[in-house]
Amino acid sequence: AIILENRPVFVALQEVTAVIYQLLQWQAWWGSYEATKLPSQRDYFTVLLVSKTSPHVTTGRASEILFRSSSMGRSLLMVECKVAGRPLVIATSHLESNLGWTPDKQRHVERREQVGQAMVVFSRIEGDVIWVGDMNWGKRDGE
């Protein structure tokens, strides 16, 4: 209902499964969006949607970079766009989750490495970048 009522230009979804992806495709609003593809062999993943009906937005290439430090299959998902003729990359990630609350189960190092990897990618992009997602970021990860 939120997407149908508000018609956002960009939507970033986290922890989508193949079943959820298929259910989303049945929604009345789905045809109004360019969606990143359903990845193979992952239990859950991120999805980016870009409006086809916004007169000032054109959608280009989508790409995904797997995080080297991820044991959970996490990645940086990006879509190249132009907004009023200016280049813009929309990106989303679900950074590494903690495996518990004891110090040995925390994933601070992995999250910092994932942010560093994303920053290197972003530094090579012409134009602006909007990066959203589930960062799982806490005080111990840095400020």
pLDDT digits (tens, 9 = 90+) for 59-88: 999 999 999 988 888 999 999 999 999 999
Which tens digit of pLDDT belongs to each residue from 87-107? 999 999 999 886 767 767 777
How many angstroms separate the Cα of 80 from the Cα of each of 31, 61, 137? 19, 5, 25
Residue 21, CA distances (Å) to 45, 92, 107 in order: 10, 16, 28
Per-range mean pLDDT, top range of 12-21, 33-42, 67-76, 93-102: 12-21
Whether residue 15 has pLDDT greater than 90: yes
Q: What distance in Å separates the CA atoms of residue 115 and residue 44, rounded to the nearest whole number?
A: 20
Percent of the chain past pLDDT 70, that is, above it, reads 94
Closest CA to 66 of 78, 74, 54, 56: 74
Q: Residue 100 has what pLDDT? A: 65
Residue 28's contacts (CB-CB under 8 Å, 6 or more residues apart) are 4
Mean pLDDT (the chain, rounded)? 91
pLDDT reading at 50 higher than 80: yes
Q: What is the CATH number of the domain that holds 106?
A: 3.60.10.10
What domain count does the chain have? 1
Task: Supply the pTM of this predicted model.
Answer: 0.91
Which residues neighbour 24 within 8 Å (Cβ) at sequence distance 6 or greater? 13, 16, 30, 35, 47
* Residue 22 pLDDT class (50, 70, 90 cuts): very high
Domain range holding 10?
2-141
- Tell me the HSE value of 42 on the side-chain side, using a 13 A CA sphere: 20
